[in-house]
Amino acid sequence: MVHLMTQNKIIVLTGTNSQAIIEVGEFAEILHWGKPVKGEVASFCFSLQRPVPYGRLDNDVAMTLAPELGRGVFSSPCLEGHRNGADWAPVFVITEIESSTHTLTLTSEDTLAGLRMITELSLDKQDVMKTRHSLVNLKSTPYQVNRLANTLPLPARAAELMTYYGRWVHEFQTVRQPLQQGGYQQENRRGRTSHEHYPALVAGTRHFDEMQGDVYGFHFAWSGNHRLRVDVKADGRRYMQAEAIYLPGEISLQQGEELTTPWLYASYSDQGLNGMSHQFHSHVRESILDKQIINTARPIHLNTWEGIYFEHDPDYIMEMATQSAQMGVERFIIDDGWFKGRNGDKAALGDWFLDADKYPNGLTPIIDHVRELGMEFGLWFEPEMINKDSDLYRQHPDWLLAVEGYEQPTGRNQYVINLQNDDAFNYLYERLDHFLTQYHIDYIKWDMNREVVQPAHNGHAAGHQQVVRYYQLVDKIRAAHPKVDIESCAAGGGRIDFEVLKRTHRFWPSDNNDALERQTIQRGMSYFFPPEVMGSHIGSSHCHSTRRRHSIEFRGLTAIFGHMGIELDPVKELQDEKQGFERYIKLHKKLRPLLHTGRTWLIPSDDEAHQIHAVVATDQSEAVVMLAQLSMPTNSLSGHLRIPGLDRTAVYRVSILDKPSNYNEIVNYQPFWTEGDCKLSGEWCEDVGLTMPILDPESAILIKLEKL
Ligand code: DGJ
C-alpha cells in the first residue's frame, strides 16, 4: 500500500512472536518492538507520549530510525556528510510510505540539502527484522558521506550486553557487560569481517541467559570495516546502531548516485538466547541459504591441509583419497599447495596454474580416482591475495591494493589484490572459471589470509568498494557455476557473516581443531548460525594449533555437531584412530538429518564446567544432547540435566549413543539411567531432569531421546 503523507500514521509490522509498532509522520519512530499486542494499538500508542523536562530542548525529540542532529538528536546521527562544507546537518521529511504486513519502505527528502533517503524495514515470520538506508544525492555538486548508520531502539529495560571478541584460533568468544551510560562501541578496521570483531551482539534484560529474559540480537551483514554501538542517551533511552566505516573521502556521491548501507538484522525474543537463536536459524534457513544446502545432505569432508600441508604427491594423495572413502568420507578436498611454485607460505599466491612439477599428469587422474571412489572433489583458492614472489606480481606490480609510495606490512608474507582494477578482477575470474570449467569440481574453499592495510584505488581510499568487488567476484563465479559449493574461510573465522552466507554454503569457523577450544568457538558461532553451515573437523589427536591431546571420542562428538569433516592424513593414522573416524562419520550420517534441520538448544548446567548442546527435531519426535565436561567437575555430584524443547506430554526413550571408553572405570558406578532402559516424559526431562554422570575433564557423552 502506498500512502502520501498528510498526518501521522501507525504502521504495525507483524512477525510470529514479535511485533513492531511504528509511528510515521515527518519522521519514523519505532514505539514498540517486542511481544505482539492485540486491540486498538493505534489508539493505545497515546499512552507512550513522553514528558518534556526543564533544562533541555522545549519539545520532545523522538528517537527515529534515522536520528538527525538537525532535529535536536544529540546522540550519534544516522548521517554525517557534507557538500564542500555545506548541507552537513540535513533534516529529512518523509514524503512517501509503502507498507505491508511485514515490510515498510519510507522515502524522505531534505530539499534544502538536496538529499533523498530511502529506509527499508521489515519483520518476517521468523521474527527477524532487517533494516537499511539508501542515500541519493539530488544536487549537481558531489556529496561526501562520512557515515551512514542504521539505528534501532532498545527498551530502557535492556540492561546487559553479550558482545564478542576473539582472534585467530580463538574466534567467537563472548563476554557479558552491563549496558549503562557510556555505552558500548566496537570498531573493526581490518578490512574483512574479522576474527576480533564479529559484527553481532545481544542486548537484554538483567541476567538474561539461554533460557530466559527479553533479548535483542543484532547482526550486521557486512564483510568489511564496521562500527557497532549500543548507547544509553543522557535521558536513559537506549539504541543500537550499526554502520560500515567509510575511510576518508571514500564515498562521494555524484548527482543521482546512491549509497546503500549493508543490512542490519535484528531479532527480539522473550525466551532468552535460545529463542533468539531459533529465530535467526530459521531465518537463515528460510531466507539466506541456497536451497541446495537445505535439500541435500551435507557431504563429509576430508581436507588435506593439516595432513600434508605443502607436500603434494599425487600417488600419495590418491592413497589418502582411497582411505578416506573407506572411512565414509564423501568429499575430498585438496587444500593449499597445488599451484605453481607453492611450496610454502612465502610465494606463488596469484599464480593460479597447476604446479606441473608436483602434478605432472595434471589433476584429472586424481579427480577421476576421487569420483570413482564415490566422493565429490574440492579445491582450495585464495583469489584476493598475491605474494611479491609470484609471476603475477612480477607482471603486474600495480595490481596491489596499496597507497603508492608506502611500504605496507605483509600478513602471512602476502598482499591484497586490488579488485577494483578490472584487469585484475577479470584475471581472477578467468582463473577460477578455468578450473571450474576444465575439471569436475564440486566445491571450492575460498580463503583470505590477511587483513587489509591502506586499501586504495587510484590513490583514493577504497576499502568499501574492495568488499563490494569481492561480493561481485563470488557472485560472478556462482552465476557461472551454480552447482559448486563455496566455503568461506579467512584464516579460519575471519569472514563469517550473513552477507557472505548469501553467496556461500559453509564457513570455516577456526583453524583451531582442538575439541576443547572448538566447544567454545562453535557455541559462540551457534547463537547466529545453524550447525549445517559450520565446518567442524576431527583433527589429529595431537592438535596442531594448541599442542593438546584429546581422545577420538571427544574430538568425534565435538565435530559431529556441525558440517562434519576430517582434517589429517588418514594414511599415517593408527588403526584405532581410523576406526574412530569411521564410527563418528557413521554417527554423523545417521544424525545429520536431525542436526541440520532441528532446533539447537544451548542448555545451562548446574556446573559451569559443563557445556550442553542439544538439537531437537522440529516435530519433537527425537533429540540428541551432547554433555561435554570442559574442565574438572566443580563438585563430585553435578546436579541434573534438564532438557528443554521436547513434547511435554510425550514419553521418550532415553539412551546413551556414545560415551568415553573409560566411562565405567572412573567411578564406582554411573547413574543407572545411562545403563539401559530409561523412559521419561518430556515434562520430566524439562522440569525435573536426569542426574549428571561423572565425566573426566575434556570428554563428552551423547544422549539420544526418541518419542515412543
Ligand atoms: C588458512 C585456512 O584457515 C586453513 O584451513 C588452510 O586452508 C590454510 N589457510 C592454507 O594456507
pLDDT, tens digit, for every residue of 262-312? 999 999 999 999 999 999 999 999 999 998 777 789 999 999 999 999 999
Distance 407 CA to ligand 1 centre (A): 25
Ligand 1 neighbourhood includes 489 CB (under 6 angstroms):
yes
Ligand 1, atom nearest to 490 Cα: 3
Beta-carbon contacts of residue 193 (< 8 Å; ≥ 6 apart): 199, 222, 223, 224, 490, 494, 495, 496, 497, 500
pLDDT at 294: 78
Dist CA 486 CA 205 (whole Å): 38
Q: Running along the chain, 708 residues long, what does each successive block of 10 average in pLDDT?
A: 66 97 97 96 94 94 96 96 97 97 98 98 98 98 98 98 98 98 97 98 98 98 98 96 97 98 98 98 96 87 98 98 98 98 98 98 98 98 98 98 95 98 98 98 98 96 98 98 97 98 98 98 98 97 96 98 98 96 98 98 95 98 98 95 98 98 96 94 98 97 98
- Residue 291: partners with Cβ closer than 8 Å, 6 or more residues away: none
At a CB cut-off of 8 Å and minimum separation 6, what does 399 contact?
386, 392, 393, 417, 418, 421, 423, 424
Distance CA 305, CA 302 (A): 9
Q: Is 268 helix (H, G, I), strand (E, B) or coil?
A: strand
Which atom number of ligand 1 is nearest to the Cα of residue 492? Answer: 3
- 306 pocket-lining for ligand 1 (C-beta < 6 Å): no
Are 191 and 452 contacting, i.e. CB atoms less than 8 angstroms apart? yes
pLDDT in tens, 506-564: 999 999 999 999 999 999 999 999 999 999 999 999 999 999 999 999 999 999 999 99
| φ, ψ (nearest 5 deg) of residue 366 | -70, -45
Please name the residue whose Cα sits nearest to atom 5 of ligand 1.
511
Nearest CA to ligand 1 atom 2: 491
Query: All 3 cell numbers of residue 27?
Result: 519522521
Cα(446) to centroid(ligand 1), Å = 9
Which residues are tagged catalytic? 447, 511
Whole-prediction pTM: 0.97
- Does the C-beta of 511 come closer than 6 Å to ligand 1? yes
pLDDT at res. 4: 46
Which of 167, 412, 447, when mutated, tests ligand 1's pocket best, judged by the most ligand atoms within 8 Å of its CB?
Answer: 447
DSSP string, 549-584: B--HHHHHHHHHTSEEEEES-GGGS-HHHHHHHHHH
> Would you give the DSSP letter of residue 310?
T
Q: Does residue 305's CB lie within 6 angstroms of at least one atom of ligand 1? A: yes
